[in-house]
Amino acid sequence: MTRKTTSNGAGNAVEVRGLVKHFGEVKAVDGVDLDVREGTVLGVLGPNGAGKTTLVRCLSTLLVPDAGTATVAGFDVVRQPRALRRTIGLTGQYASVDEKLSGRENLYMIGRLLDLSRKDARARADELLERFSLTEAAGRAAAKYSGGMRRRLDLAASMIGRPAVLYLDEPTTGLDPRTRNEVWDEVRSMVRDGATVLLTTQYMEEAEQLAHELTVIDRGRVIAEGEVDELKTKVGGRTLQIRPAQAAELDRMVGAIAQAGLDGIAGATADHEDGVVNVPIVSDEQLSAVVGMLGERGFTISGINTHLPSLDEVFLAITGQKTSEAADGGPQDGPRDQQDVQDKQYEEVPA
C-alpha cells in the first residue's frame, strides 16, 4: 500500500502554535499548542465543550482560526488549504455518509470526488469494505446500518485517499464495547500502515488504548500533556475491586491485605454498600499478588474488576478541580456517564 508521505521528514506531522478560535464570547480554542509526531497517535482528551471539534475543524481548514499558526504535513492551514486537504482524512463526530446510498456507493462516490478513475474508485471501495468487514453489507443503504457499521463506513470513507494524517473526532462515542474494540483495532492497523492520527476523545480508556501521547484540554486551553504513562502516574493507576463470596468477609479481607504487607499495596478499603474491597494498584503484578494471597488464605472471591480513572478523576488529579461540566453541575448524561463507569472484567485487562 502506498501512502503519501509528509514533507517534513521524521518530525511532526502536525504542529499547532497559539491557535485561537473564538465564537463571540465563547473562547472555543484559546491559545492551543500541540505537536503530533509522525506515525504516532496523539489523544486530545477533554469533556463536552472543551474545544476538541473546533480544533479539528481548524486543522481541517473548515474553520479559519482567529490567531496562531498550524501546519499539517508542512502545509499551513490558512495559506495552503488545498494542499493540506489532500493530505488529511477526517472522521467527524457526526456521521458524514449519505444514508440513501449503499456502503459501496458511498465509498465509490468519495473516490470519484478524489479524482480516482472509475476502476480505481471501485477497487478502492471494495478493498476498504473488505478491510472494515462491510463486504456483506456493501449493497445495503447506509440508513440500514447499525451504529457500529456506520462508524466503520465513516472510517473507511476517511481512508479512501490514503491520507498521511487522520483526524478522528470522538470515533467511538455512543458505541457498545464490542464495536468500540473493532474501531480501536482499525485505528491500530492504520497506524501500523504509517498514518499519523489526531484522536479526540472523552474516554480516558480510549486514550490509553490508542494514544502514544496525550493533550488534555478544557475550556479551549491545554491543561496537561505528556506520555500516557506519565499522566497515568499522576492520576495514580487503577483501582482493583474484589468481591468476596460472603459480604461478611469484607473487613476481614481488608485486614488480611493490610497484614500481608505486599509490595506497594496500601490503603485497601471496604465498600459495604457495593460489597467490594477497593485496592489501589499500579501494576498487573500487584493485582496478581493481592488475589493470589487472598486465595492462599482461604478467601472465596466471586468477582474481580479493575477500574480505570475516569476523565473526571484525571482532571481532579491534574488540576485539583472538577471538569467544568461537573463543577457547573451540568448534565451528566450520555457519554460522560459511560465514562464514569469504566469497569473491566479482570480477564480483559491487557497483560
Local structure of 107: helix, strand or coil: helix
Does 93 sit near Mg ion (CB under 5 A)?
yes
For residue 170, give every residue at least 6 positions away whose Cβ sits within 8 Å of its Cβ, in sequence order, or none. 52, 93, 200, 201, 202, 335
Partner that binds at residue 49, options ligand ATP, Mg ion, none, CB closer than 5 to 8 Å by kind:
ligand ATP
Contact positions vs ligand ATP (CB under 6 A): 23, 26, 28, 46, 48-54, 93, 202
| Least gap, CB of 70 to ligand ATP (angstroms) | 15
What's CA 236's distance to the chain center, in Å? 19
Q: Which residue of this chain has its Cβ atom nearest to Mg ion in the complex?
A: 53
Partner that binds at residue 332, options Mg ion, ligand ATP, none, CB closer than 5 to 8 Å by kind:
none
When computed from its CA atoms, the radius of gyration of the chain, rounded to whole angstroms, is: 23
Of 64 and 113, nearer to ligand ATP (C-beta) is 64
Of 52 and 85, nearer to Mg ion (C-beta) is 52
| Least gap, CB of 237 to Mg ion (angstroms) | 28
Pairing between strand 88-91 and 269-271? Answer: unpaired
Burial class (CB in 10 A: 0-12, 13-18, 19+), 69: middle
Local structure of 298: helix, strand or coil: coil
| Least gap, CB of 202 to ligand ATP (angstroms) | 6
CA distance 236 to 288: 18
Of 49 and 244, nearer to ligand ATP (C-beta) is 49
Partner that binds at residue 152, options ligand ATP, Mg ion, none, CB closer than 5 to 8 Å by kind:
none
Considering only 74-82, 92-100, 277-285, 341-349, which stretch makes contact with Mg ion by CB under 5 A? 92-100
Does 53 sit near Mg ion (CB under 5 A)?
yes
CA distance 230 to 319: 15
Tell me phi and psi for residue 76, to 5 degrees.
Answer: -80, 130
| Least gap, CB of 259 to Mg ion (angstroms) | 49
Residues in contact with Mg ion by CB under 5 A are 52-53, 93
